[in-house]
Amino acid sequence: MPEFKNAIFLLLLLPVAAYYIYFRSKILSESSVLFPSGKMIKKKKSFFRKTYLTVPLMRFLALFFAVIALARPGKGVNYTEIENYGVDIVIALDLSPSMQGMDLPPNRLGAAKEIVSRFIANRENDRVGLVIFAGEAYLQAPLTSDKEIIREIVSETDFDSVETDGTAIGEAIVMSAARLKDSKAQSRVILLLTDGVNNRGVVDPDTAALAAKELGIKIYSVGIGKDGKVAYPTGNAIFSKHYVQNEFDEKLLKNISELTGGKYYRAADKDAFEKSISDINMLEKSRYKVKKYYDFEDNFFPFLAASVIFFFAEIILRSVVYRKIP
């Protein structure tokens, strides 16, 4: 559908139509008659008598196309440029055996994967990476804007993805910070998800957190699981389970989060886990600026040309072909 840059001028078509009706009726009622000049009077008198209304029609078409040209028909194109000020986030996910705890259904890791996947889907303008850890830390996915790929990697991550037992929180922070140190994003975040006590690795978590702070990286940590005895599966038996006293270093996680300007959350159940991730999602919002451009391609010239043609056609018809005889 054509667009009109000065659409208000289209209202002029109403008086133009009214003028045509008036002009046509005036000609019909005039006592003078339009006759062809010269020899045409003798040979084609009846034809020209029948076609003399061509003159007002020419004037109407000239005015009609002039109005269309004034309205400036054309095609508009919108351009949008987005300057993204997103957040670069590395998720450090604990895969130690204690994440098999069944206090969060189906287990701690399953609940974490489900909630993290939704978190990633909501970070439309951000880059997300994934570090997994147990006794050692591994880069599972570098920072990427492809949310589908990172969510697929999260869903496929399992206890078999790591080889050593234990919980090396310090090494997980170092590995995550290494992926963020060269980032140009205005905000850089480590989302640390763990359920245990740091008992592996050569890097002290407090030292790693201090290094992250120097790089301007914030750590949001979520302690997964409840206090007390927690059910764990036994062997390969589907319904067999045993209970283990949960060990949790809440003080450590609070310290590394506060040190870097982040925040610590306790996720004793799935609802608390959901709320903590939702809170982080709100705290670390992406910022972006949208610039909109509009380009318009004029197509008024053909209508202007048609108006001029019909205008001169009327003059020629009046002065040469048809003459007004009083």
Q: What's the pLDDT at 211?
A: 96
Class at the top of the CATH hierarchy for domain 87-285: alpha beta
Residue range 201-250, pLDDT digits in tens: 999 999 999 999 999 999 999 999 988 899 998 866 556 788 888 888 89
Region 54-72: mean pLDDT is 81
Residue range 79-113, pLDDT digits in tens: 666 565 678 999 999 999 999 999 999 999 999 99
Extents of the domains making up the chain: 3-77+295-325, 87-285
Can you tell me the distance from the alpha carbon of 95 to that of 10, in angstroms, rounded to the nearest whole number?
A: 69
Look at residue 290 and tell me whether its pLDDT is greater than 80: no
Task: Name 194's bridge partners.
Answer: 223
Can you tell me the distance from the alpha carbon of 46 to that of 40, in angstroms, rounded to the nearest whole number?
A: 10
Q: Kindly report the average pLDDT of the chain as a whole number.
A: 83
Q: What's the pLDDT at 10?
A: 78
Contacts of 21 (CB under 8 A, 6+ apart): none
Residue with tokens 């310290």: 255
